[in-house]
């Protein structure tokens, strides 16, 4: 996972053998595909890699059946059936919808009996409705095939629904590797935090007061966090769903942070509402409060679930596009 | 819509006189007229009946045989050598690639006569490679081999340039997909790159063949004009001019018919294949495929 240009696709291409790394080793189980030290560099056709391209890369001059049978005629019919595209066997890729093309691409990649599956942004070319359905199908498929798979995406939701482990790559380096839950609960830095969809408020930490770290935010407000760097420029990580909105004038409880701001925008997301106010985005149940733009509102979130990460000077990337309000 | 509203969108205003459009039409008509007049004149001055009547003249038949043989060999060599060369140059990045591509296009801009002298300088008896070649007992200048070489040099680049462009246009992902599916570089070429480039390759082949059939300058310099040996149809016309204008006209008309037939056949061949482009125009193939 990572922003555009981070090098995610390059990793896939290196594994497939299209790109030669300057240095390093790539092994699939017991087989070494590439080793700069040992002078091993297997050509793509010997690597046993199943690649599902972002734009599917179906052979336009061949029928669906010929595409799927490219790696070998043996399993073609069985796979066409399994993926529900047998009725399209004689069609050309140009006549298919995005979802159908993806299934052909998938069937084609599996037909060769690969040792690993590589997916380059498999869901980004699909509309939102198809995306959800395909995500579920992909989940079932991957578990049924019991093949290791590497999936490249810029959408954390893909990671949470499909991945056992997630690696966040920014500008060619891995910032953190762990389960989706680990990335959410304990992001290692600002990039990861903003990538998993958390709020990241810039400020300066000024030491512990009463067990919690005090942070002066950019806009002047003061909040407290449970863990992280205790001095210097920091980003306060708060999950949108940990934020509560209300009108209350009463003093906030101990250990609860509070930010007052007028509502800047409201956007529905499923059955919830994403509300932007001040430096925060909150995700709340719709219909409970009056959420008009401009209305002064109080946002509260517990200090216990507020973490700090160091800000390295360079501003972290803005939230991924699918999270736009 | 009031009269003062500016015209937007694509629909032309019906019944309104536009000077710019008139200008375009006139220019098109002038160009077409200029291109067609010589061809029309050829058939008016030498009606088809007369043209075909000359077919039993040995000068004509010899010229046709020489043209057919030399172009057949040159065309086959162009395709056999030009296709793999085009694939390599079109798809591999290597230092000096743009220079190589410029060199390929050089024969296209060199005057044919100059090309002829260049070929003499290289392969003629006193040329660069001439001595080595003579030592082997082979005489190239003024033989049919010379005609083939001249055609290759002058017409070959037309195909090669198109081949480079056509292969370059094949999506990298398609080739990579083929490779990951177990195809070696050869099979990826044969099953993916080549079929997808056929449009561009055919266009290049048509151009190359047409240019080869019409070759004159380099041929006359390097191969001379010996009837039955090196005298192609174009050379025959030139020689006939001094002797019998009617024969020259007749051969000229014949060549136009042959060229038209070659061009049309290649175009029909192109449209016979199922179209993979999104173009709805039946004969709408661009030269780059």
> Which pLDDT score is estimated for A119?
95
> Which pLDDT score is estimated for B158?
94
Same domain, A214 and A310: yes
Cβ proximity of A53 and A120 under 8 Å: yes
Q: Is residue A234 part of a domain?
A: yes
Residue B286 pLDDT grade (very low, low, confident, very high; cuts 50, 70, 90) = very low
Distances (CA, A) of B248 to B125, B152, B255: 32, 26, 11
What is the spatial distance between Cα A105 and Cα A113, in angstroms, rounded to a whole number? 14
Distance from CA of A240 to the nearest CA of B (A): 39
Ranges in chain A, pLDDT < 50: 314-315, 319-325
> Which pLDDT score is estimated for B15?
66
CB B182 to CB A71 under 8 A?
A: yes
Mean pLDDT of B143-152: 90
**CATH of residue A265:** 2.40.50.100
What is the spatial distance between Cα A165 and Cα A176, in angstroms, rounded to a whole number? 10
Q: Is residue A96 part of a domain?
A: yes
**Residues of chain A contacting residue B177, judged by C-beta atoms under 8 Å apart:** 51, 53, 57, 59, 108
For the stretch A82-112, pLDDT in tens is: 999 999 999 999 999 888 998 999 999 999 8
Q: Is residue A162 part of a domain?
A: no
Q: Is residue A39 part of a domain?
A: yes
Q: Is residue B183 part of a domain?
A: yes
**CATH of residue A74:** 3.40.50.300
Outline where DSSP puts E strands in chain A: 25-28, 31-35, 40-41, 49-52, 116-120, 149-152, 166-170, 173-178, 199-209, 212-217, 222-225, 231-238, 244-246, 256-269, 272-277, 280-285, 296-302, 307-310
Cβ proximity of A92 and A25 under 8 Å: no
Question: What would the two tokens of residue B248 be?
Answer: 């020259």
CB A45 to CB B183 under 8 A?
A: yes
Domain total in chain A: 2
Residue B16 predicted with pLDDT over 80? no
> Which pLDDT score is estimated for A63?
95
Strand, helix or coil for residue A22:
coil
| Residues ≥6 apart with Cβ < 8 Å to B259 | B210, B213, B214
Q: Give the bridge partners for A267, in sequence order.
A: A274
Q: Which of A2-6, A231-235, B101-105, B173-177 has the lowest mean pLDDT?
A: A2-6
Residue B279 predicted with pLDDT over 70? no
Q: Is residue B70 part of a domain?
A: yes
Distances (CA, A) of A236 to A17, A230, A279: 41, 12, 11
Average pLDDT score, chain B: 84
Interface with B, mutate which of A33, A54, A56, A61 (most B CBs under 10 A): A61
Q: Is residue B48 part of a domain?
A: no
For the stretch B28-66, pLDDT in tens is: 999 999 999 988 888 888 777 777 777 778 888 888 899
What is the spatial distance between Cα B155 and Cα B204, in angstroms, rounded to a whole number? 10
User: Quick one: closest CA in B to A15, which residue?
Assistant: B180
**Residues of chain B contacting residue A44, judged by C-beta atoms under 8 Å apart:** 176, 179-180
- Residue range(s) defining the domain that contains residue A76: 8-154
What is the spatial distance between Cα A93 and Cα A81, in angstroms, rounded to a whole number? 17
Q: Shortest CB distance from A44 goes to which of B176, B192, B195?
A: B176
Same domain, A150 and A205: no
Q: Is residue B155 part of a domain?
A: yes
- Residue range(s) defining the domain that contains residue B75: 62-232
Q: Is residue B188 part of a domain?
A: yes
User: Quick one: closest CA in B to A66, which residue?
Assistant: B191
- Of A301, A229, A291, A225, nearest to A259 by C-alpha is A301
Same domain, A12 and A150: yes
Q: Is residue B132 part of a domain?
A: yes
> Which pLDDT score is estimated for B271?
67
Distance from CA of A187 to the nearest CA of B (A): 35
What is the spatial distance between Cα A178 and Cα A184, in angstroms, rounded to a whole number? 10
| Residues ≥6 apart with Cβ < 8 Å to A3 | A154, A170, A195, A317, A320
What is the spatial distance between Cα A30 and Cα A21, in angstroms, rounded to a whole number? 20
> Which pLDDT score is estimated for A255?
83
Query: For chain B, what percent of residues have pLDDT higher than 70?
Result: 87
Residue A84 Rama label (left phi>0; alpha psi -120 to 50; beta): left
CB A70 to CB B181 under 8 A?
A: yes
Same domain, A15 and A148: yes
CB B179 to CB A70 under 8 A?
A: no
Same domain, A104 and A224: no
| Residues ≥6 apart with Cβ < 8 Å to B18 | none
CB B177 to CB A53 under 8 A?
A: yes
Q: Is residue B83 part of a domain?
A: yes
ipTM over 0.90 threshold: no
Residue B278 pLDDT grade (very low, low, confident, very high; cuts 50, 70, 90) = very low
Q: Is residue A265 part of a domain?
A: yes
Q: Is residue A187 part of a domain?
A: no
Domain total in chain B: 1
Q: How many A-B residue pairs are in contact by the CB < 8 A criterion?
A: 63
What is the spatial distance between Cα B121 and Cα B110, in angstroms, rounded to a whole number? 15
- Of A138, A195, A145, A191, nearest to A162 by C-alpha is A138
Residue B188 Rama label (left phi>0; alpha psi -120 to 50; beta): alpha
CB B179 to CB A44 under 8 A?
A: yes
Residue finishing a domain among A94, A127, A154: A154
CB B183 to CB A70 under 8 A?
A: yes
Residue B2 pLDDT grade (very low, low, confident, very high; cuts 50, 70, 90) = very low
**CATH of residue B219:** 1.10.3720.10
Distance from CA of A312 to the nearest CA of B (A): 37
Residues of B with a Cβ under 8 Å from any A Cβ are: 171, 173-174, 176-185, 191-192, 195-196, 276, 278
- Of A243, A179, A231, nearest to A207 by C-alpha is A231
Question: What would the two tokens of residue A187 be?
Answer: 């992001």
> Which pLDDT score is estimated for B127?
76
Q: Is residue A169 part of a domain?
A: no
What is the spatial distance between Cα B154 and Cα A271, in angstroms, rounded to a whole number? 71
CB A57 to CB B171 under 8 A?
A: yes
The residue to which tokens 């939230």 are assigned = A319
The residue to which tokens 């009837």 are assigned = B227
Interface with A, mutate which of B182, B197, B277 (most A CBs under 10 A): B182
Angle in degrees, CA A131, A135, A139, rounded to 5: 170
> Which pLDDT score is estimated for A320?
47
**Residues of chain B contacting residue A49, judged by C-beta atoms under 8 Å apart:** 180
Mean pLDDT of B213-220: 88
Distance from CA of B167 to the nearest CA of A (A): 15
Could you tell me which residue, B8 or A12, shows the higher pLDDT? A12
Q: Is residue B47 part of a domain?
A: no
Distance from CA of A270 to the nearest CA of B (A): 36
Strand order in the sheet with A296-302: A244-246, A296-302, A256-269, A272-277, A280-285
Residues of A with a Cβ under 8 Å from any B Cβ are: 13, 16-18, 43-45, 47, 49-51, 53, 55, 57, 59-61, 70-72, 92, 94, 108-109, 111-112, 114
**Residues of chain B contacting residue A50, judged by C-beta atoms under 8 Å apart:** 180
Q: Taking each helix axis from N to C terminus, what angle separates B97-109 and B144-168, rounded to the nearest 10 degrees?
A: 130
């Amino acid at each position: 996972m990572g922003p555009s240009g981070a090098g995610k696709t390059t990793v896939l291409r290196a594994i497939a053998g299209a790109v030669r790394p300057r240095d390093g080793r790539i092994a699939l189980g017991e087989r070494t595909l590439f080793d700069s030290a040992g002078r091993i560099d297997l050509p793509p056709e010997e690597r046993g890699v199943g690649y599902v391209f972002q734009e599917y890369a179906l052979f336009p001059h061949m029928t669906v059946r010929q595409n799927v049978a490219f790696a070998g005629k043996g399993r073609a019919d069985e796979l066409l059936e399994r993926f529900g595209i047998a009725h399209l066997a004689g069609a050309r890729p140009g006549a298919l919808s995005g979802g159908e093309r993806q299934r052909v691409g998938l069937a084609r990649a599996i037909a060769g009996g690969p040792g690993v599956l590589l997916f380059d942004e498999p869901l980004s070319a699909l509309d939102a409705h198809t995306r959800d359905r395909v995500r579920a199908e992909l989940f079932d498929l991957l578990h049924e095939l019991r093949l290791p798979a590497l999936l490249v995406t810029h959408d954390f939701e893909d990671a949470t629904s499909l991945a056992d482990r997630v690696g966040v790559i920014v500008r060619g380096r891995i910032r953190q590797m762990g389960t989706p839950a680990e990335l959410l609960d304990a992001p290692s830095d600002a990039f990861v935090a903003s990538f998993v969809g958390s709020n990241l408020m810039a400020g300066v930490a000024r030491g512990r007061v009463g067990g919690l770290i005090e942070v002066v935010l950019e806009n002047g407000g003061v909040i407290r966090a449970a863990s992280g760097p205790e001095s210097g420029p920091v980003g306060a990580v708060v999950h949108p769903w940990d934020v509560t909105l209300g009108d209350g004038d009463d003093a906030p409880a101990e250990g609860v942070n509070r930010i007052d701001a007028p509502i800047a925008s409201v956007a529905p997301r499923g059955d919830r509402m994403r509300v932007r106010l001040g430096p925060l985005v909150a995700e709340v149940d719709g219909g409970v409060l009056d959420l008009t733009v401009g209305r002064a509102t109080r946002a509260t979130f517990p200090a216990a679930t507020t973490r700090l990460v160091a800000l390295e000077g360079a501003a972290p990337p803005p939230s991924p596009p699918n999270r736009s309000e | 819509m009031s009269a003062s509203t500016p015209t937007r969108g694509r629909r032309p205003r019906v019944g309104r006189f536009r000077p710019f459009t008139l200008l375009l039409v006139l220019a098109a008509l002038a160009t077409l007229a200029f291109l067609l007049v010589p061809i029309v004149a050829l058939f008016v001055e030498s009606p088809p009946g007369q043209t075909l009547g000359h077919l039993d003249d040995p000068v004509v038949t010899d010229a046709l045989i020489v043209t057919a043989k030399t172009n057949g060999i040159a065309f086959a060599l162009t395709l056999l050598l030009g296709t793999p060369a085009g694939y390599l140059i079109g798809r591999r990045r290597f230092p000096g690639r743009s220079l190589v591509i410029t060199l390929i296009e050089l024969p296209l801009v060199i005057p044919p006569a100059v090309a002829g002298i260049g070929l003499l300088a290289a392969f003629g008896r006193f040329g660069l490679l001439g001595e080595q070649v003579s030592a082997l007992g082979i005489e190239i200048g003024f033989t049919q081999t010379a005609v083939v070489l001249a055609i290759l040099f002058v017409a070959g680049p037309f195909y090669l340039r198109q081949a480079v462009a056509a292969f370059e246009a094949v999506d990298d992902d398609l080739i990579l997909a083929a490779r990951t599916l177990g195809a070696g570089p050869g099979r990826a070429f044969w099953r993916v790159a080549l079929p997808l480039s056929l449009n561009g390759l055919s266009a290049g082949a048509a151009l190359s063949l047409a240019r080869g059939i019409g070759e004159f300058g380099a041929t006359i310099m390097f191969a001379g004009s010996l009837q039955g040996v090196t005298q192609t149809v174009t050379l025959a016309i030139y020689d006939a001019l001094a002797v019998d204008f009617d024969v020259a006209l007749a051969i000229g008309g014949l060549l136009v018919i042959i060229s038209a037939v070659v061009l049309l056949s290649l175009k029909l061949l192109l449209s016979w294949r199922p179209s993979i482009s999104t173009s709805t125009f039946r004969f709408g193939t661009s030269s780059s495929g």
